[in-house]
């Protein structure tokens, strides 16, 4: 990067460059946090689907790949607020909805990074 000769403009250019580099680092953390939240939620759905939804397929390779990108272990993801929240929502739905309806909803529920973790056979 070429900085101007004017000291005021040079300081502004240096500050702008620093701000841009900090923004890039922040974006990376934001992406990782998004992966963590979306994956943890999808993992809760996948755990339910694996035991109750024979018409659904769980993409274990995608879960493994996203787990590596998340920077967390499967145990940490399952202990996260996002996993617990999704698990609790599914449990509350199970009290008043047919399992087939929940399974159908789970196959459509996850987008973003977790898209494709759960799909219909």
pLDDT tops 90 at residue 27: no
- Split at pLDDT 50, 70, 90, the class of 30 is confident
| Alpha carbons 40 and 46: distance in angstroms, whole number | 10
Q: What is the CA radius of gyration of the chain?
A: 21
* pTM for this entry: 0.75
Taking the CA of residue 16 as centre, how many other CA atoms within 13 Å lie in the half-sphere pointing to its CB? 10
> What would the pLDDT profile of 74-100 be if each residue is shown by its tens digit?
999 999 999 999 999 999 999 999 999
Looking at residue 5, its pLDDT comes to: 59
Distances (CA, A) of 83 to 10, 19, 78, 96, 117: 48, 34, 5, 21, 14
């Amino acid at each position: 990067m070429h900085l101007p000769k004017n000291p005021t403009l040079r300081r502004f250019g240096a500050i702008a460059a620093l701000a841009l580099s900090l923004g890039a680092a922040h974006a990376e953390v934001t992406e990782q946090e998004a992966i963590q939240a979306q994956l943890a939620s999808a993992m809760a759905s996948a755990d339910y689907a694996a035991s109750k939804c024979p018409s659904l397929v769980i993409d274990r390779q995608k879960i493994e790949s996203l787990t590596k990108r998340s920077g967390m272990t499967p145990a940490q993801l399952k202990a996260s607020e996002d996993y617990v929240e999704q698990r609790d929502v599914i449990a509350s739905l199970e009290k008043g909805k047919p399992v087939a309806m929940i399974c159908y909803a789970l196959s459509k529920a996850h987008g973003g990074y977790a898209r494709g973790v759960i799909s219909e056979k």
